[in-house]
């Protein structure tokens, strides 16, 4: 019973000579907090986009909670999966409540139950005072938090977050991480990407390190550290596998 | 349904916060139609309302002179000028002034013209009575054979204009000649049969068949002429409605850039409902724009000494046309918003293409006054379909049966543009 299974996935963007994904393969179990790690341009965002169905892979197989990602299951998978994109996917000119009401409506929720849910999450994420402030007036950390709420209105069983803690302060980050642990403890699977390896090390039960469109290594962070005696932490493991060369 | 309604509300919230968009959609068009109606007021009047000065030189000082002057003056189109600086105009001076272009027409009635007509009538009556065995002889003068009323035209005068003047002066001549003849005949008949009184003489009428101008509009009579307001208000309203492509394209590109489009695609359910909501909202905005502009035409422009806009008698047909134009404009905005990647590209292409489509579509100047080949091209512009349909309602008093073809064209074009946008979007995903 895999939460996410990716097998031999290939993707070349139109107009680019080099494939972005070259036979990517990995698996995460259900109910886990998993990390997808890799240098800039490794293909993390591309992988996530294929997982949720907004970008099509050229070949290979993707299975989400036992459903194959293909036309027949695309809508069903959207119900299961909640995506927090790398960019803030909200209307900057609208307030948090207006944004969340709109996206909640699109999920089919409405009226008082929706408003209660929105207020609950705004409080949980410390945004209740700014509930009616336009998003473009939010700080970076507030935007990231609002961006997460928009992805969990429908209680997804699988929450996928693309760099949810990029550019946020320590307080926001620890709040977000605590939320992920809590959400996971209610039975949801979580897949997240980050360049902060210390954070990934403490949060994830399972990590995949990928580079240049391929899986390099997969395993439990502690196990990986132990397997490599010269490594003291996940960052050492990461550098061990990906080297020091700068990426485009 | 929830998706559709939610989208309409969201678009409303977005528009409320888009001050530039509101100005572009509602304030600019009002300024535009007001300015255009004002500056085109004079040229339009040139075609219809302007009165021409006619220099008349009456050397006859008789009935013909009076009749021509009164006849021309009564139409309301001409000002009769027979003296300049307190001096009666002479034939020489009249000729010179017309030649210099200071006046467009001059009419010179020669001395003895009335006498010649009277004399001619007398001769005919003499002849008739003589043949009837009566021996009356009315005075007949010897007049020169070629006595002419002379007309001078400005060398730049148009042919049709010349023809019209020629025709009316000719009519006055004929009418006077006939009048004289008939009155002479009546006199003679009276003299022969003294029981017949002047009032109940044979009702000899001049015309058995009359000429009457009637409007071609169906149903009730409309007395609307195409003036600056009747042309400019609908024309520039349509232009302004099409300018909705700028806010729509901006809206769509922003959604793509700020990731809210991505969010919508991550949510299960059809994107079509969202798009339909967006369309419905913007079509509504277009219709609102249209009626706002009509209100300006009816209530504001008259305050500026312009004629009042008349909207015809088929409000249902008008609404249908406004909706059709709104749909075509919105679909065009969605297409541009889909095809172009940056707001700047969309803005430039959108604005320039609308200006071109409006110019060839008869918004700036009516299609009828364009060369035939341009007219053919102009009829391909959706803006011309909209304007045609509005003119059908406003000027020809047409109803839905009159305008459905143009409305259908607008709707089909809109749907075609949406289909292209959908295809482009789909291709982009793969
Ligand atoms: N829409 C696209 N069209 C063409 N190339 C793309 C597109 N999106 C991504 N790429 C390319 O694919 C490669 C992988 O990009 P991707 O965004 O998946 O990497 P990433 O691992 O998420 O990087 P980062 O850590 O910087 O977010 C990069 O070289 C990028 O330039
Ligand atoms: Mg990325």
Phi-psi region at B269: left, alpha or beta (left = phi > 0; alpha = psi -120 to 50): left
User: What are the tokens at B321?
Assistant: 């046309």
Residue pLDDT, tens place only, B246-284: 999 999 999 998 888 889 888 988 888 888 899 999 999
Taking 80 as the threshold, does the pLDDT of residue B295 lie above it? yes
Range of the domain at B280: 2-44+220-429
CATH number (1.20.1260.10, 1.50.10.10, 3.90.1200.10, 3.40.50.300) of A2-242 reads 3.40.50.300
Q: Cα-flanking dihedrals φ and ψ of residue B89, to 5°?
A: -75, 135
A-B CB pairs within 8 A amount to 78
- Check which CATH number belongs to the domain holding B94 and give it: 3.40.190
pLDDT (tens digit, 0 to 9) for every residue of chain A, 248 residues total?
678 999 999 999 988 889 999 999 999 989 999 999 999 999 999 999 999 888 889 999 999 998 988 888 888 999 999 999 989 999 999 999 999 999 999 999 999 999 999 999 999 999 999 999 999 999 999 999 999 999 999 999 999 999 999 888 999 999 999 999 999 999 999 999 999 999 999 999 999 999 989 999 999 999 999 998 888 999 999 998 888 777 77
∠ Cα B32 B411 B347 (to 5°) = 45
Residue A102: is it exposed, middle or buried by C-beta count within 10 angstroms (0-12/13-18/19+)?
buried
pLDDT value of residue B221: 43
User: What are the tokens at B430?
Assistant: 């793969």
Q: Please list every residue in chain B whose beta carbon sits closer than 8 Å to the beta carbon of residue A54.
A: 262, 265-266, 429
The answer to whether position B227 is within a domain reads yes
Q: Which of B2, B255, B266 sits opposite A83 (nearest CB)?
A: B266
Taking 60 as the threshold, does the pLDDT of residue B222 lie above it? no
The answer to whether position B349 is within a domain reads yes
Atom index in ligand 1 nearest the CA of residue A38 equals: 21
Residue B380 sits in the same domain as residue B259: yes
- Tell me which residues of chain B have a C-beta less than 8 Å from any C-beta of chain A: 2-3, 5-7, 9-10, 13-14, 17-18, 255, 258-260, 262-269, 274, 429-430
Residue pLDDT, tens place only, B107-131: 888 888 888 888 888 888 888 878 8
Residue B70 sits in the same domain as residue B166: yes
Minimum Cα–Cα distance from B265: chain A residue: A54
Any atom of ligand 1 within 6 Å of the Cβ of A42: yes
Residue pLDDT, tens place only, B140-186: 777 666 778 888 887 777 777 788 788 888 888 888 888 888 888 87
pLDDT value of residue B81: 84
Residue B187 sits in the same domain as residue B118: yes
The answer to whether position B202 is within a domain reads no
**What is the C-alpha R_g of chain B?**
33
Which CA distances in Å does B413 have to B252, B280, B358?
Answer: 20, 16, 16
Cα of A46 from ligand 2 centre, angstroms: 7
Residue pLDDT, tens place only, B195-221: 655 555 555 555 556 566 555 554 444
The answer to whether position B331 is within a domain reads yes
Alpha-carbon distance of B51 to B42, in angstroms, equals 12
The answer to whether position B373 is within a domain reads yes
Helix (H) or strand (E) holding A11: strand A2-11
pLDDT value of residue B220: 44
The answer to whether position B257 is within a domain reads yes
Residue B89 sits in the same domain as residue B157: yes
Q: Residues B327-333: what's their mean pLDDT? A: 96
Residue B282 sits in the same domain as residue B357: yes
**Residues forming beta bridges with residue A160, ordered by sequence position:** A83, A191
Cα of B7 from ligand 2 centre, angstroms: 29
Residue B9 sits in the same domain as residue B86: no
Model ipTM?
0.89
Alpha-carbon distance of A45 to B301, in angstroms, equals 58
Residue B286 sits in the same domain as residue B373: yes
Q: Residues B224-233: what's their mean pLDDT? A: 77
Q: Please list every residue in chain A whose beta carbon sits closer than 8 Å to the beta carbon of residue B13.
A: 94, 98
pLDDT value of residue B144: 64
The answer to whether position B279 is within a domain reads yes
The count of structural domains within chain B is 2
Which residue out of A6, A36, A42, A55 has the highest number of ligand 1 atoms within 8 Å of its CB and is therefore the one to mutate?
A42
Contact across the interface for B269 and A106, Cβ inside 8 Å: yes
Residue B11 sits in the same domain as residue B149: no
Contact A221, A215 (CB under 8 A): no
Q: Which of B2, B13, B265 sits opposite A54 (nearest CB)?
A: B265
Residue B57 sits in the same domain as residue B88: yes
Taking 50 as the threshold, does the pLDDT of residue B57 lie above it? yes
> Where do the domains of chain A lie?
2-242
Strand A81-84 and strand A158-162: the pairing is parallel
Confidence of residue B190 (pLDDT cuts 50, 70, 90): confident
Which CA distances in Å does A217 have to A24, A26, A209, A221?
Answer: 11, 9, 5, 11
Instruction: Tell me which of B194, B211, B228 is where a domain ends.
Output: B194
Q: Residues B374-379: what's their mean pLDDT? A: 88
Residue B134 sits in the same domain as residue B247: no
Distance from CA of A241 to the nearest CA of B (A): 33
* pTM reported for the whole predicted model: 0.76
Q: Which of B6, B10, B263 sits opposite A150 (nearest CB)?
A: B263
Taking 70 as the threshold, does the pLDDT of residue B17 lie above it? yes
Residue B40 sits in the same domain as residue B59: no
Taking 60 as the threshold, does the pLDDT of residue B49 lie above it? no
A 10 A CB-CB count for B24 gives 17
Residue B185 sits in the same domain as residue B230: no
């Amino acid at each position: 019973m895999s939460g996410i299974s990716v097998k031999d996935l290939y993707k070349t963007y139109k107009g680019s000579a080099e494939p972005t994904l070259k036979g990517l393969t990995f698996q995460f179990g259900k109910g886990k907090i998993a990390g997808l790690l890799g240098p800039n341009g490794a293909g993390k965002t591309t992988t996530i986009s294929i997982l949720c169905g907004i970008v099509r892979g050229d070949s290979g197989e993707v299975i989400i909670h036992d459903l194959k990602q293909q036309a027949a299951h695309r809508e069903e998978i959207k119900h299961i999966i909640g995506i927090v994109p790398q960019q803030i996917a909200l209307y900057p000119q609208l307030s948090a409540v207006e944004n969340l009401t709109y996206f909640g409506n699109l999920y089919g929720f409405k009226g008082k139950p929706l408003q209660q849910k929105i207020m609950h999450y705004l409080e949980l994420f410390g945004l209740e005072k700014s509930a009616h402030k336009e998003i473009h007036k939010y700080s970076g950390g507030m935007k990231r938090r609002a961006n997460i709420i928009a992805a969990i209105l429908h209680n997804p069983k699988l929450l996928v977050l693309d760099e949810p803690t990029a550019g946020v302060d320590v307080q926001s980050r620890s709040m977000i991480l605590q939320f992920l642990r809590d959400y996971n403890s209610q039975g949801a699977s979580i897949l997240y990407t980050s360049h902060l390896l210390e954070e990934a090390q403490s949060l994830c039960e399972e990590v995949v390190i990928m580079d240049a469109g391929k899986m390099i290594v997969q395993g439990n962070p502690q196990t990986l550290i132990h397997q490599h005696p010269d490594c003291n932490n996940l960052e050492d493991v990461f550098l061990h596998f990906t080297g020091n060369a700068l990426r485009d | 349904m929830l998706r559709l309604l939610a989208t309409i509300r969201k678009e409303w919230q977005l528009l409320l916060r888009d001050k530039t968009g509101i100005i572009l959609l509602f304030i600019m068009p009002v300024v535009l139609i007001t300015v255009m109606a004002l500056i085109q007021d004079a040229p339009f009047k040139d075609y219809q309302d302007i009165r021409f000065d006619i220099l008349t030189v009456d050397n006859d000082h008789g009935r013909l002179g009076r009749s021509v002057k009164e006849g021309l003056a009564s139409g309301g189109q001409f000002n009769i000028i027979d003296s300049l600086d307190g001096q009666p105009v002479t034939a020489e001076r009249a000729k010179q002034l017309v030649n210099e272009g200071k006046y467009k027409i001059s009419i010179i009635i020669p001395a003895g013209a009335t006498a010649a007509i009277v004399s001619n009538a007398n001769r005919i009556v003499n002849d008739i009575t003589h043949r009837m065995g009566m021996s009356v002889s009315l005075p007949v003068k010897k007049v020169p054979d070629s006595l002419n009323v002379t007309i001078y035209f400005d060398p730049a005068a148009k042919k049709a204009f010349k023809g019209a003047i020629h025709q009316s002066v000719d009519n006055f001549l004929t009418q006077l000649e006939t009048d004289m003849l008939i009155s002479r005949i009546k006199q003679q008949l009276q003299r022969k049969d003294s029981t017949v009184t002047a009032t109940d003489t044979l009702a000899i009428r001049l015309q058995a068949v009359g000429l009457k101008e009637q409007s071609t509009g169906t149903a009730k009579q409309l007395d609307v002429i195409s003036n600056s307001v009747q042309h400019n208000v609908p024309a520039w309203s349509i232009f302004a409605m099409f300018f909705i492509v700028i806010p729509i394209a901006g809206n769509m590109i922003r959604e793509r850039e700020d990731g809210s489009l991505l969010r919508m695609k991550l949510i299960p359910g059809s994107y079509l409902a969202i798009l339909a909501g967006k369309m419905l909202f913007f079509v509504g905005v277009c219709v609102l724009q249209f009626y706002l502009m009509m209100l300006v035409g009816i209530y504001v422009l008259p305050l500026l000494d312009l004629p009042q806009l008349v909207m015809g008698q088929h409000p249902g047909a008008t609404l249908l046309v406004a909706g059709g134009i709104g749909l075509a404009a919105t679909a065009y905005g969605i297409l541009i918003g889909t095809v172009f990647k940056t707001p700047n590209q969309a803005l430039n292409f959108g604005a320039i293409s609308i200006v071109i489509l409006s110019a060839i579509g008869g918004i700036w100047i009516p299609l009828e006054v364009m060369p035939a080949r341009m007219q053919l091209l102009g009829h391909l512009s959706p803006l011309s379909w909209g304007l045609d349909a509005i003119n059908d309602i406003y000027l020809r008093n047409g109803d839905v049966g009159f305008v459905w073809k143009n409305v259908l064209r607008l709707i089909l074009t809109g749907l075609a543009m949406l289909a292209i946008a959908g295809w482009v979007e789909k291709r982009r995903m793969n």
